[in-house]
């Protein structure tokens, strides 16, 4: 499918308004954002970003819509999300292609990202009948005590460029069945995929007469994110992006005692034990390190390899890196696509020069590619360095295909190295030794939000709660009981007797 056809199907014009309340596009009023593809450097289309005033109107509409939307029974809200899942199934191919072309990930990953949206839609439909609270036994006679979950109001969603659509769906589909309305500030680097999503759901919202404002969109940069973080009308801001951004959002939301759900940077390691199946380990490490050109929050950045298998595994890795095809991500024969933009290329080059300064040893050299097929200037070579974990650059997340390797001899040492970084998102051990695996998963093991055995660090399923500890922000999204973040808990006690006994045995006589 040609890109012009993709844009046509998804309702993308040459110049698009970057603000909507659900089914209606507003005059956005902000600056023009041109979206260039990192694949070939061509201008795809432009968007007028939302001004502060338009943002204000979108939030007002979301507040008004909440009054009505919260009155819809949760399973009825779930039915709307079910139909959104259907609409995404129909549009999987064009939307997946646009994700791939605008962001630069492989077509398989672009389609996979849309599949993740479909999966979370299915999950949210089931959830719409399972927003359970507990009941407790009261200490007082003839009293009933229970807790229930109420919607919060308007949820603000700030998303990153690397998962331009899935992260929005993780948040909004769950928030909608919970009874919240949403305002999405998409990444300014991928505005067209956001507009495409808005067009897809608008049809469903229209057909179901969903109140205007349940799904707001504001395209814009950091300034709109800052407005959202400081906005007391937004009880929950769910922000995905760098740790730098998360610290700013967390501080602004905290200053007004709102809630922030933070999904921030990772610095993920795989421990390759002497007891590993090295073929499985190789595939996991390779996909984790070079998939999405190293631009996943769960990208494998560090390998901690047992000294008994270190040389053999390093050899396998180097051989595998030699087989990698770098090029147009829409062409299935390529394994590695471009970085998102030239700034990302500069960050990659900066990291390489820091590695040199800090004494790292090159195992596979990097570099920027040029010539035919690389005209966008965003294609770089995945590279490998031998490092020591305490080098400042190793402690930092560089969003590029840089892989750091180091040795260990005792499992405790490997776990210490793995945990000895500021971030705590994803982690894995490759071992067939049951004791090692269990130690790794115990409280003495990985300190990350995600810990795997014999699979890599990237590619989480939607059924689990997704997120990480420490500088990754502590948030949890997607499956399990993550929905609780989008609701407020209320404890209720009802006295159905004819006296007023007090708790804690207190007597109050008048």
- Binding letters toward ligand NAD, positions 237-256, x by CB under 6 A: ---xxx--x--xx-------
461 carries an active-site annotation: no
Distance CA 203, CA 209 (A): 10
Distance CA 396, CA 213 (A): 39
**Which residue lies nearest ligand NAD, judged by its C-beta?**
225
Site for ligand NAD in 406-435 (CB under 6 A): 425
Closer residue to ligand NAD, CB minimum distance, 180 or 397: 397
Strand 236-240 and strand 215-219: the pairing is unpaired
Catalytic: which of 113, 263, 471, 477?
A: 263
Site for ligand NAD in 369-398 (CB under 6 A): 397
Closer residue to ligand NAD, CB minimum distance, 286 or 297: 297
Cβ burial 350-387 (10 Å sphere, 16+ → b, else e): ebbebbeeeebeebbebebeeeeebebbbbbbbbbbbb
- Using the rule CB under 6 A, give the single segment among 2-10, 100-108, 218-226, 300-308 that binds ligand NAD: 218-226
Helix 243-255 to helix 222-229 angle (10° resolution) is: 30
- Judged by CB under 6 A, the residue of 163, 176, 313, 486 near ligand NAD is 163
Closer residue to ligand NAD, CB minimum distance, 127 or 297: 297
Our finding on whether 30 is near ligand NAD (CB under 6 A) is no
Closest CA to 146 of 131, 158, 134: 134
Mind giving me the DSSP string for 72-102? Answer: S-HHHHHHHHHHHHHHHHHTHHHHHHHHHHH
Mind giving me the DSSP string for 469-497? Answer: EETT-S--EESTTGGGGGEEEEEEEEE-S
Nearest approach, Cβ of residue 148 and ligand NAD (Å): 29
Our finding on whether 162 is near ligand NAD (CB under 6 A) is yes
- Binding letters toward ligand NAD, positions 431-470, x by CB under 6 A: -------------------------------------x--
Our finding on whether 230 is near ligand NAD (CB under 6 A) is no
Who's near 118: CB < 8 A, 6+ residues apart?
85, 88, 89, 92
- Using the rule CB under 6 A, give the single segment among 116-124, 140-148, 182-190, 275-283 that binds ligand NAD: 182-190
137 by Cβ neighbours in 10 Å (0-12 / 13-18 / 19+) ranks as exposed
CB half-sphere exposure, 271, CA atoms < 13 A = 32
The stretches of 128-211 forming alpha helices (DSSP H) are 166-178, 191-207
Nearest approach, Cβ of residue 313 and ligand NAD (Å): 26
Catalytic: which of 297, 378, 383, 448?
A: 297
Please give the C-alpha separations between residue 139 and each of 194, 253, 296, in angstroms, as whole numbers: 52, 37, 50
The 3-state DSSP class for residue 135 equals strand
Our finding on whether 120 is near ligand NAD (CB under 6 A) is no
Closest CA to 38 of 335, 332, 374, 340: 340
Our finding on whether 267 is near ligand NAD (CB under 6 A) is no
Our finding on whether 61 is near ligand NAD (CB under 6 A) is no
182 carries an active-site annotation: no
Who's near 386: CB < 8 A, 6+ residues apart?
360, 361, 363, 404, 405, 406
The 3-state DSSP class for residue 264 equals coil
- Judged by CB under 6 A, the residue of 45, 154, 158, 282 near ligand NAD is 158
- Using the rule CB under 6 A, give the single segment among 40-48, 77-85, 157-165, 364-372 that binds ligand NAD: 157-165
Our finding on whether 263 is near ligand NAD (CB under 6 A) is yes
Our finding on whether 63 is near ligand NAD (CB under 6 A) is no
The separation between CA 427 and the C-alpha centre of its own chain, rounded to angstroms, equals 16
Closer residue to ligand NAD, CB minimum distance, 160 or 402: 160
Our finding on whether 399 is near ligand NAD (CB under 6 A) is yes
- Binding letters toward ligand NAD, positions 288-307, x by CB under 6 A: ---------x----------
Nearest approach, Cβ of residue 209 and ligand NAD (Å): 31
In the 3-class helix/strand/coil scheme, how is 31-69 assigned residue by residue?
Answer: EEEEEECCCCCCEEEEEEEECHHHHHHHHHHHHHHHHHH
- Judged by CB under 6 A, the residue of 265, 382, 401, 479 near ligand NAD is 265
- Using the rule CB under 6 A, give the single segment among 9-17, 209-217, 219-227, 302-310 that binds ligand NAD: 219-227
Binding region for ligand NAD (CB under 6 A):
158-163, 185, 187-188, 221-222, 225-226, 229, 240-242, 245, 248-249, 263-266, 297, 397, 399, 425, 468, 472
Task: Return the active site residues.
Answer: 263, 297
């Amino acid at each position: 499918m040609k890109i012009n056809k993709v844009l046509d199907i998804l309702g993308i014009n040459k110049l698009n308004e970057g603000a909507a309340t659900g089914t209606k596009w507003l005059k956005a009023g902000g600056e023009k954002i041109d979206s260039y593809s990192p694949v070939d450097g061509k201008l795809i289309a432009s968007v007028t970003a939302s001004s502060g005033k338009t943002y204000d109107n979108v939030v007002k509409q979301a507040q008004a819509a909440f009054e009505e939307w919260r009155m819809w029974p949760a399973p009825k809200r779930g039915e709307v999300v079910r139909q959104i899942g259907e609409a995404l199934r129909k549009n999987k191919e064009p939307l997946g292609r646009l994700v791939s072309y605008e962001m630069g990930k492989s077509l398989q990953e672009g389609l996979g990202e849309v599949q993740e949206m479909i999966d979370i839609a299915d999950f949210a439909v089931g959830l719409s009948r399972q927003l359970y609270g507990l009941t407790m036994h009261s200490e007082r006679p003839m009293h009933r005590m229970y807790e229930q979950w109420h919607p919060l109001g308007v949820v603000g969603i700030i998303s990153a460029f690397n998962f331009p659509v899935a992260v929005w769906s993780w948040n909004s589909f769950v928030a909608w069945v919970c009874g919240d309305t949403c305002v999405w500030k998409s990444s300014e680097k991928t505005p067209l995929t956001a507009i495409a999503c808005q067009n897809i759901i608008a049809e469903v919202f229209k057909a179901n007469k969903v109140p205007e404002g349940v799904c707001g969109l504001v395209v814009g940069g950091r300034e709109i994110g800052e407005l959202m973080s400081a906005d007391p009308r937004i009880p929950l801001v769910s922000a995905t992006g760098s740790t730098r951004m998360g610290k700013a959002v967390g501080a602004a939301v905290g200053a007004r005692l709102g809630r922030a759900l933070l999904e921030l940077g990772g610095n993920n390691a795989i421990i390759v034990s002497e007891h590993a199946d090295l073929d499985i380990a190789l595939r996991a490490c390779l996909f984790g390190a070079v998939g999405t050109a190293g631009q996943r929050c769960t990208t494998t950045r560090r390998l901690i390899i047992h000294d008994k298998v270190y040389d053999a595994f390093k050899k396998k890795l180097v051989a595998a890196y030699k087989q990698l095809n770098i090029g147009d991500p829409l062409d299935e024969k390529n394994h590695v696509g471009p970085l998102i933009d030239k700034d990302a290329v500069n960050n990659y080059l900066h990291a390489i020069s820091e590695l040199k300064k800090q004494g790292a040893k090159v195992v596979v050299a990097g570099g920027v590619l040029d010539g035919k097929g690389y005209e966008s200037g965003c294609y770089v070579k995945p590279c490998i360095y031998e490092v020591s974990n305490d080098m400042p650059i190793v402690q930092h997340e560089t969003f590029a295909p840089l892989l750091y390797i180091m040795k260990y001899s005792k499992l405790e040492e490997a776990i210490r190295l793995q945990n000895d970084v500021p971030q705590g998102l994803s982690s894995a051990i490759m071992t067939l030794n049951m004791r090692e695996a269990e130690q790794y998963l115990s409280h003495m093991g990985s300190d990350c939000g995600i810990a795997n055995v014999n699979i890599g660090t990237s590619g989480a399923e939607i059924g689990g709660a997704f997120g990480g500890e420490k500088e990754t922000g502590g948030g949890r999204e997607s499956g399990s009981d993550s929905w609780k973040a989008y609701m407020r808990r209320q404890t209720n006690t009802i006295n159905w007797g004819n006296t007023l006994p007090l708790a804690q045995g207190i007597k109050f006589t008048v």
